[in-house]
Structure formats: C-alpha cells, structure tokens
Structure 1
Amino acid sequence: MLAAILHGIVLAFGLILPLGAQNVFVFNQGVSQPKFRKALPVVITASLCDTILILLATLGVSVIVLSVPALQTVIFTVGLLFLLYMGWSIWRSDPVALNQKEGAMSPKKQIMIAISVSLLNPHAIIDTVGVIGTSSLNYSGSEKIAFTTACIIISWLWFLSLAIAGKVVGNFDTKGTLLKVINKISAIIIWIVAIYIAVELFKMF
C-alpha cells in the first residue's frame, strides 16, 4: 500500500512539475488577483480537470478514446493550434499589466481558460494516459485506489501552492521582472511541446 502511494506521489510530481500552459495560467492568476480567494476558481478548475484525466487514465477509459484514430487526430490538431496560440500570448504578455485590473480575470473566464489549458493539451493527456494509466496497471483493489488518490491529492496541492506562490511573487515583484523571465521560458517550453505534437501528428498521416 505504501509503495503504491509513494509511486503515485513521485509520478504526479514528475508530470505536473514542468512549466506549461496550465501551470503558467494558474501562477499568473495568483499574481494578478487582488486577493488570493479570487484565484480559487482557476485552482479548483485545474485540479478538477486533472482529477478527471487521472480517473479516466486509471480506469482505462482514456485509452479506449485515444485508440480511435480520427478522434486522436482531432485532439492533436486542436491542441497544437491552441498551444501555439498560448505560447504567443504568454510571450507577448506584459507582466506589469498582471497587477492591473485587466490582468485579474473574472471567475467565469478563469474557469473557461483553465478547462482549455487542461483538457486541450494533448501532451498532458498522453502523459497522463501513458504514465499514470500504464503505471496503475501494476495495482488492483485498495492499492490501485491508494495510487490514484495519491496522484489526485498531489495535483490539488500543487495548483494550490502554485497560486499561493504567484500571490507571493506578485506582492514582491511589482515591476514584473521575474515574471517576465518566467513567461519567456514558459512560452519556449510550450512551443517545444507544440513541435513534439506536430511531429506526432505528422506520423499519423
């Protein structure tokens, strides 16, 4: 049981730690919102989306969905275009504006974008299915439940911590110097992921 829990913790951290569109958006909302509680919609939405992906992966449903070539092509294409757009938006974003009114999005907009960066990212979907889904096959019964629960808890704690870190940075980095560097690096990482997806999409034809 303990081995399954530790395995879930390590895998979840490994998948969620790299900078990406989802992490950047949660962090940025932590920076831009005047009060931390106003960033909770993005934290909850991102966590719920990850929970859904993890459950689908461990239950094997996502493997069935991604086994349909046409559906997989659509997901990859939409995801590729979305990541290219997200990378460009983050690269051009003005960190200073994140502390202004226009940077603090409404709960509805936070939820919509969080769903997009979570569920329209084929790289994240493939990682969840390929790593967490495959690893869950090693367990059954209570061990599988423990493994899945550990992955989900780490996801929730991570997004909560990310928003808190954003709020702390926002309070000290009023000129947006650090955030500007983070945004540039994040945009490059997102474009690298987009290139990877483009290669995978090319292989399908």
Structure 2
Amino acid sequence: MLTAAIAGFFLGASLIIAIGAQNAFILRQGLLRSHVFVLCLICAAADAVLIAAGVAGLGTLVSRSPMLITIVTLGGAVFLAAYGFKAFRRAMQPHSLVENRENAMPLKAAIATCLAFTFLNPHVYLDTVLLLGSLSAAYEGWARVAYGAGAAIASFVWFFALGYGARLLQPVFAKPAAWRVLDLIIGIVMSLLALSLLMHFVNGG
C-alpha cells in the first residue's frame, strides 16, 4: 500500500506542477495574500474529488460523453481567453504590490474564478479522471485507494506550498515592473491554453 501511495503521490505531483491556469492564478493570489487558504483548499479538494472519481472508474463514462467534452472545451477556451485579455490589460498599466492588494478580487469573485479554472479545463479531467484513473487499474483493493490518496495528497501539498510560498517573492513584486512581467506571462499562458483547446475542438478531439 505504501508503494502505491508513493507512486500516486509522485505521478499526481508531476501532473500539477507544470505551469497552467490554476497555478498561475494561485501564484498571483498568493503574492497578493488574498483569500489564499480558501482558494488553495478549493483547488486541492476539487482535485481530490476528481481523482477519486477516476479511481472509481468514472473516466470511461467521461470519455464516452462527447457532448460534455465539447461544452467544457469551448467554455474553457472562452474563459481562458477572457482572463488572458484581462492579464494583458493589467500588464499595460502595472501597479505596485500595495495597489494590487487594494484592487484584489472580493472573495465571491475569487471563488467563482477558481472554480472556473478548475472545472472549465478539459486537461484537468484528462489528467485526474482519465490518466490517473486508468493507471490506478494496476492496483487492487486498498492499494488502489492508497494510490488515489497519494495523488490527492500531492495536490494539497502543491497548492498550499504555491499559495503560501508565493509570499517569499513579495520583495521582487514590490515594483510595478515585476507585475508587468508576471501578467504578461499569465496572459501568454492563458492565451496558449485557450488556443490549444480551440485547436483540440477543431481537430475533432
């Protein structure tokens, strides 16, 4: 069981550490020290639920629902493109850390944005439900549960480390120029993700 848990942990970590929409959002919120605990908890808990669903066999159902995949793909592309546009607009008029904190999202808006990043992204389902779920088939019984638990723990460790570790970079982001660079990177990441979703849709999945 321990071996299965460790395998799940490292595979889960390898899937979520790559730069993506969720990570970019949590990094920015962490720098602002804005609703960090709630947002990290939402991301990690959502991953845990999706991982559990994948381990339980939901991946097969999702893969056989082209309508669901289409809705999530197009919705995700629109959302990511809109957020990327907002990031580019912020980059044109960067603010200091204090000014950005004063203009931070209210809690409800931050939660809604976080949920959109989580569930309007087909890659989340591909990684957590389909990939992790299919690989869990190599284990049986409690070993399979341990595998899923290890992957879920990796999500909790990563998101909370990213959210609270971001404050170590605050001296760098005391200047508006650093925020310009960050928002440009976020804008590029979001735009590329939106484009990849559209290309995925056009090419028929």
User: SS of the residue aligned with 1:96?
Assistant: coil
| Superposition deviation, residue 112 in structure 1 | 1.2
User: SS of the residue aligned with 2:95?
Assistant: helix
Alpha-carbon contact 1:76-1:197 (below 8 Å) kept: yes
Alpha-carbon contact 2:75-2:120 (below 8 Å) kept: yes
Where in structure 2 are the equivalents of 1:106-121 lying within 5 Å?
A: 106-121=106-121
The 3 A distance-change label for structure 1 pair 69 and 166 is same
- Structure 2 equivalent of residue 17 of structure 1: 17
The 3 A distance-change label for structure 1 pair 170 and 200 is same
| Superposition deviation, residue 118 in structure 1 | 0.7
- Structure 1 position 136 matched with structure 2 position 136: yes
The TM-score with structure 1 as length reference comes to: 0.87
- Structure 1 equivalent of residue 43 of structure 2: 46
Q: For 2:106 and 2:136, how far apart are their aligned partners in 1? A: 37
The TM-score with structure 2 as length reference comes to: 0.87
Give the unaligned 5+ runs of structure 2. Answer: none
Alpha-carbon contact 1:83-1:191 (below 8 Å) kept: yes
Identity %: 28
| Superposition deviation, residue 2 in structure 1 | 3.1
Alpha-carbon contact 1:33-1:99 (below 8 Å) kept: no
The 3 A distance-change label for structure 1 pair 130 and 96 is same
| Superposition deviation, residue 153 in structure 1 | 0.8
- Structure 1 position 170 matched with structure 2 position 167: no
1:83-116 CA deviation, whole Å, 9 max, x = no partner?
A: 2122222233245355324443222222111111
- Structure 2 equivalent of residue 198 of structure 1: 198
The 3 A distance-change label for structure 1 pair 23 and 103 is farther
- Structure 1 equivalent of residue 76 of structure 2: 79
User: SS of the residue aligned with 1:196?
Assistant: helix
Alpha-carbon contact 2:59-2:134 (below 8 Å) kept: no
- Structure 1 position 92 matched with structure 2 position 126: no
The 3 A distance-change label for structure 1 pair 14 and 103 is farther
| Superposition deviation, residue 11 in structure 1 | 1.1
Q: For 1:66 and 1:103, how far apart are their aligned partners in 2? A: 41
1:106-145 CA deviation, whole Å, 9 max, x = no partner?
A: 2222211111111111122222233211111111111111
User: SS of the residue aligned with 1:93?
Assistant: helix
Q: Which runs of 4+ in 1 moved over 6 A?
A: none
User: SS of the residue aligned with 2:138?
Assistant: coil
Where in structure 2 are the equivalents of 1:139-158 lying within 5 Å?
A: 139-158=139-158
The 3 A distance-change label for structure 1 pair 179 and 13 is farther
- Structure 1 position 57 matched with structure 2 position 49: no
RMSD: 2.2
Q: For 2:9 and 2:56, how far apart are their aligned partners in 1? A: 18
Tell me how many residue pairs correspond in the alignment. Answer: 202
